[in-house]
Amino acid sequence: MLNVKTADVKKFVGEAKYEIMDPYRRNAAFKKLKKFLEHLMSFLIIVGVSYVIIAPVIGMFVKSISSTKDAYDPMMFIFPRYPTMEKYKLVIERMEYWKTIGKDLAYVAVCTVIQLFVCSMVGYGFARFDFPFKKILFGCIVVMIVIPTHTIMLPLYITFRQFDPFGIFTRITGDYLNLMGTPLPMVLMTILGCGLRSGLYIYIFNQFFRGLPKEIEEAALVDGAGLWYTYFRIMLVNAMPSVITVTVFSVVWQFNDMFYANLFKISENIVISKKISTLAAVIANQDKILDIPIQQLYVAAGIILVIVPIILIYIILQRRFIEGVERSGIVG
Amino acid sequence: MKKKRKLSLTKKRAIAGLLFISPWLIGFLLFYVRSLIMTFRFSFSNLSMGVGGYDLEFTGLENIIYAFRAHGSFKQILTTSVTNMLIDVPLITFFSLFMAIILNRKFKGRGVVRAIFFLPVILGADAISEAMELAETMMNGGVAAQAAEVTATTSGTIAFDIDYLVTTFMNLGIPVKLLDYVAQAVDRINAIISASGVQIIIFIAALQSIPGSLYEVSRIEGATVYETFWKVTFPMVMPHIITNVVYTIVDNFSKSDIVELARTEMFTNFNYGLGSVFSIVSTLITCLILVIVVWLIQRRTFYYN
């Protein structure tokens, strides 16, 4: 039996009445409701948008572990009935995954280190020194960010197809040097501060160095440090937030870059994303899997394999990255 | 020169500065200035690749006239690319500002959500998106899941009838152009979300840099949330709106159809002169849009420092 006293009920009703009648408490109640609705809204939006972003990845993953039987199973929903890892096994073999990914990561790492070094140096030069035409030259950096690389792709192609700075190679060997198919053009451009989105990185570093107090350098100079030493051992160490921001951007974009990889015909043994485009054909040719939906399962496994390392790198750097962006040059 | 005469400190520092930027300066002259001049020359001539190099044959304005008067799809693709850009850029900017404001609040799992929002930047590789598209087009009716989806939409029980909504709003007297814009925005929600990863991060950083005292003051003075947004948050992130708009326009342009057209013209049809015209014209138009947009926003920008 319910043990309800009439007095309790009366008290409850009275309080409710009181709550509605009293304007102050009513306001408080409304505010609570409003806040709840606000939280609910933002929660729903975040979940919805996150779903839109993650859904293809989940779909890709499910495809990559489902077996041939599952591909034609109309009852399958999210979880495959006969999950298998054989797709991965074959794809790793056909892509020569470990070898290629190792080479690719090494290539990306080299480019990133050069980017960090060169862009921070140029950014520092712009931030701390006065020289003639400084404003115009910095305008050129902005122009470099804005001009799409596609405008200059053909001259770049010709430059590196018939590589001949100051006629050195024609004089020695009597022929141009053909750099197509090697990662050299990309490395050369990066060394000269014109690599993939270098303009943006220079801008980031410049903004950050301008925000650092001048006293640090002055102290260093008084203590007898040379300009180079000051930059390399003092300023660059202080620029850690920018360094991390640029590292993440550079690694991700360099790894994903197909434009330069295609333009310079960099071998697909170095750029792994190029292998994705040919994976279906390779599978069809070598393993006689001609059913297109089944081929797609293999391609899905290949894509997962390609994006896993980059996601791992991002997760490792992520926490410091967001902090870094907050404190680095993009803001300001 | 006399041996005793030393350089003054300012001159020394100027030389040091030039040394610091010298790698970039050489690269810029070598790769950018030279290439731009070359592209410009190509667009006025007929280029043929030979064994030992390339031959240029000056043809004057022929390429440009051909592009605008005779080429089948250039003008059409150019206009659609530009209109698409004009539609997308405000959408992406406001969407990313909106998401940044939501993500800037304190809630559990914020780190995970922020990582998720950066995913599109990682997944943006051409090869990966190409493979995804290929998977979609090739699977039409092929795989069971796809087929199930098709039946679901045609049976009309689960499917959401957008036509009904559109006609309802049209009957309410809302202009068709506006409805079209909204419908297109909804249609492109996927593209918009995946194109706004970097922008969201920039906006989050911008929001973090707004001094908290400003919000305190506005709360004490009795400003509503709405007023606080328009009077504090919005002016403070205005400089970053410029950064983001510029980034979005450049990013959008580099992925647009017109660039693709220029590339096929050059590397598939080997018509380098015409391809150069395409890329130069489209770049000029993009730069013009950039200048106009930046000028328009900058007039209303307030700089805190």
Q: Cβ–Cβ of B13/A130 closer than 8 Å?
A: yes
Q: Write down the pLDDT at residue A190.
A: 93
Q: Which chain A residues touch B246 with a CB distance below 8 Å?
A: 145-146
Pairing of strands B45-49, B54-58: antiparallel
- Nearest-5° Cα angle at B300, B298 to B305: 75
- The residues near A110 (Cβ < 8 Å, ≥ 6 apart) are A187
Whether residue A153 and residue B21 make contact (CB cut-off 8 A), yes or no, is no
Interface test with A, best of B11, B29, B31, B116 (most A CBs within 10 A): B31
* HSE-CB for A75 with a 13 A CA cutoff: 3
Lowest mean pLDDT among A315-324, B110-119, B130-139: B130-139
- 3-state SS track over B111-165: HHHHHHHHHHHHCCCHHHHHHHHHHHHHCCCCCHHHHHHHHHHHHCCCCCCHHHH
Three-state SS string across chain A, please? CCCCCHHHHHHHHHHHHHHHHCHHHHHHHHHHHHHHHHHHHHHHHHHHHHHHHHHHHHHHHHHHHCCHHHHCCCCCECECCCCCCHHHHHHHHHHCHHHHHHHHHHHHHHHHHHHHHHHHHHHHHHHHCCCCCHHHHHHHHHHHHHCCHHHHHHHHHHHHHCECHHHHHHHHCCCCECCCCCCHHHHHHHHCCCCCCHHHHHHHHHHHHHHCCCHHHHHHHHCCCCHHHHHHHHHHHHCHHHHHHHHHHHHHHHHHCCHHHHHCCCCCCCCCHHHHHHHHHHHHHHHCCCCHHHHHHHHHHHHHHHHHHHHHHHHHHHHHHHHHHHHCCCCC
Which residue, among A251, A254, A239, has the nearest Cα to A207 in the 3D structure? Answer: A239
Backbone angles phi, psi at A9, to 5 degrees: -60, -45
Instruction: Report the gap between the CA of B303 and the closest CA in chain A (Å).
Output: 10
How far is B168 from B172, CA to CA, in rounded Å?
6
In this predicted structure, what is the pLDDT of residue B133? 61
In the stretch 268-297 of chain A, residues with CB closer than 8 A to chain B read 273-274, 276-277, 279-280, 292-293, 296
Is the ipTM reported for this complex over the cut 0.85?
Answer: no
Query: What is the count of structural domains for chain B?
Result: 1
pLDDT of residue B5: 63
**pLDDT one digit per residue (tens) for chain A, 332 residues:** 456 667 776 776 666 666 666 777 778 888 888 888 988 988 898 888 888 888 778 878 888 888 887 777 777 667 778 888 888 998 898 888 999 999 999 999 999 999 999 999 999 999 888 888 888 998 898 888 878 787 888 888 888 887 777 777 777 776 777 888 888 899 999 999 888 889 989 988 888 888 788 888 888 888 888 888 888 888 888 888 788 888 888 998 898 888 888 888 888 888 888 888 788 888 888 888 888 778 888 888 888 888 888 888 888 887 777 666 666 555 54
CATH number of the domain encompassing residue B246: 1.10.3720.10
Considering only CB atoms, B144 lies closest to which of A57, A73, A130, namely A73
Contact between A303 and A88 (Cβ < 8 Å):
no
Q: In this complex, do B16 and A159 lie within 8 Å of one another by their Cβ atoms?
A: no
B123 and A326 in contact by Cβ < 8 A? no
**Average pLDDT value over all residues in chain B:** 79
Whole-number pLDDT of residue B150: 44
* Domain contains B129: yes
Contacts of B208 in chain A (CB under 8 A): 326, 331
Chain B residues with beta carbon closer than 8 angstroms to that of A322? 111, 114, 201, 204
B54 φ/ψ sector (left φ>0, alpha ψ -120 to 50, else beta): beta
Q: Which residue of B has its CA nearest to A292?
A: B138
In this complex, do A159 and B31 lie within 8 Å of one another by their Cβ atoms? yes
Domain parsing of chain A, residue ranges: 6-65, 88-327
B64 in any annotated domain: yes
pTM: 0.80
Contacts of A46 in chain B (CB under 8 A): 102-103, 113
Longest distance between any two alpha carbons in chain B, whole Å: 94
Indicate if the pLDDT at residue B278 is higher than 80: yes
Angle between helices B197-208 and B110-122 (to 10 degrees): 140
**Residue B161: pLDDT over 90:** no
Distances in whole angstroms, Cα of residue A227 to Cα of each of A211, B13, B156: 18, 9, 72
Domain A88-327 has CATH 3.90.870.10: no
- Across the interface, which of A73, A125, A280 has its CB nearest the CB of B20? A125
Distance of CA A166 to the CA centre of its chain: 37
Nearest to A154 among B32, B259, B276 (CB): B276
Furthest-apart CA atoms within chain A: distance in Å: 109
Q: Do B115 and A149 touch (CB under 8 A)?
A: no
Q: How far apart are CA A209 and CA A207, in angstroms?
A: 6
B7 close to A (CB below 8 A): no
User: Chain A closest CA to B18's CA: distance in Å?
Assistant: 7
CB pairs under 8 A between A and B: 255
Does the beta carbon of B272 lie under 8 angstroms from any beta carbon of chain A? yes
Copy the structure tokens of residue A122. 């140029």
Helix or strand (DSSP H, E) at B54: strand B54-58
> Can you name the residues that pair with B45 across neighbouring β-strands?
B58
Domain extent for B196: 56-299
- Which residues of chain B neighbour A231 with C-beta distances below 8 Å? 20
pLDDT band for position B9 (50/70/90)?
confident
CA distance A192 to A118: 8
For residues A249 and A201, the answer to whether their CB atoms sit within 8 Å is: yes
Chain A 35-54, residues with CB within 8 Å of chain B CB atoms: 42, 45-46, 49-50, 52-54
Mapped onto helix, strand or coil, the DSSP state of residue B186 is helix
**Interface contact flag, B31 A189, Cβ < 8 Å:** yes
Q: Is some CB atom of chain A closer than 8 A to the CB atom of B254? A: yes
State the nearest Cα–Cα gap between A163 and chain B, in angstroms. Answer: 11
B180 token code pair: 């079209």
Residue B48 lies in a domain: no
- Which of B103, B122, B190 has the CB atom closest to A314's CB atom? B122
> How many Å apart are CA A242 and CA A205, to the nearest integer?
6
User: How many Å apart are CA B45 and CA B40, to the nearest integer?
Assistant: 9
Listed by number, the residues of chain A in 1-20 with a beta carbon closer than 8 Å to a beta carbon of chain B are: none
